[in-house]
Amino acid sequence: MSESEQSAEGSAQDPLPPSGQVPPMPESAPSSDPAEIPRTARGSRWAHLSRTAVLFLGIGTGAAAVGICWASLSLLGPDAAPAKSGDGQPAVAATGATRAPAPFATDGTLTLAEVGAGLETGEVCSGTGGYSDIDLGTQVNVTDADGTLVAIGSLGLGEKTEDGCVFSFTVDDITPGSKFYTVEVSHRGGLTQTEAALRAGGLEFTLGG
């Protein structure tokens, strides 16, 4: 192939602009804003780090988190976590205080002998004459060995029985710890009992007869 033929072929493949003409300018200038540059062109900030650097960075972050947790527990002190007993259950902390015994209750009956004549068994009755103070709601007092009033109860409804008019009563919230207690209905004298007897209940008072 001659030089003239090669020159003609090159001209056909790579046409050049006519002499004296300037290529047209782009409609807008290339953007210099990084936000408009494609992500693939800008690249990731991690792309410049080697795999080893990324690994060490992750290990350092984890160690810092563990250190912060450990420092928090150290500042809170040993009370931050519950102590464990031998069986793995949380141990109960010793407070040095002894829990006071809980109050207790007692119950019993008061019988007015030969009261309620003319009434059928089971009918409601009440004290009469010199026993008019014995009726529904009459106060029942409990005092300890020092004579201190420690609990108050009251009589219930009187009920006619073969023995007379019987009233039941219950006294709650009796303070424990006394050597003995005295139970008194109205001003009729008291019945002295030990704490064990009061806890057992079933006290019996009888008036008249």
In angstroms, the CA 94 to CA 160 distance is: 56
pLDDT reported for residue 31:
52
pTM for the full predicted model: 0.53
In angstroms, the CA 138 to CA 187 distance is: 10
127, 112 Cβ separation under 8 angstroms: yes
pLDDT reported for residue 6:
47
Q: H or E stretch including 158? A: strand 149-161
Average confidence (pLDDT) per 10 residues, the chain, 209 residues = 48 50 56 50 53 62 66 58 55 62 95 87 92 95 96 96 95 96 92 96 90
pLDDT reported for residue 54:
52
Q: Could you tell me which residues come within 8 angstroms of residue 66 by beta carbon, excluding any fewer than 6 positions away?
A: none
